[in-house]
Amino acid sequence: MKKKYNEQPIINERIKYPKVRLIDVLGKQIGVYSSYEALQIALEKDLDLVMISNKSDPPVCRIIDYGKYKFAQDKKAKEAKRKQHNASIKEVKMRYKIEEHDYNVRLSQALRFLQSGDKVKVTVIFRGREIQHINLALDLLNKMAAGLSNISDIQQLPSRDGKNMVMILSPNKTKI
């Protein structure tokens, strides 16, 4: 994602303030100079004058190699983006007449999804006249929520969605 023009720091000739507080390469404060003098000092060292903060009076500028500074900022942003986990919703489907072994398989699937940091959408499917037995599906969803309560929280309570009954569980970071 590219930065907009106005989000980029103000550098070199684009600094239009009459006086600026100048910080050198090592981070030491040099003093207050006119923008032109500060730019001349930066150019003598073959570096750039970059505005750090325009909120103070006078604004703060720093002498740095802008190319290296921008590269380091981009590298930090890429590293942060790489480390973040996008939680997606994984779905576990079953019927309310499920056998114990099949239920345990669905429970282990949901457990695996929650441990990897994803949300789990537990769906009980009804066919035909099975829609009359909503209470059995509700019991099944509550049983699954209780079985996973040690590592998850209920994000959405069981609710009917057409011919399905749906509940969403989210991983609890403190419990995992």
Q: What does the pLDDT average to over 94-120? A: 93
Of all residues in the chain, the percent with pLDDT exceeding 70 is 94
Say if 176 falls within a structural domain. no
> Do 99 and 167 fall into the same domain?
yes
Tell me the residue range of the domain where 121 lies. Answer: 89-171
Q: Please check the confidence at residue 1 and state whether its pLDDT lies above 50.
A: no
Show which of 83, 115, 135 is a domain's final residue. Answer: 83
Q: How many residues does the chain have?
A: 176
On whether both 31 and 104 belong to a single domain, the answer is no
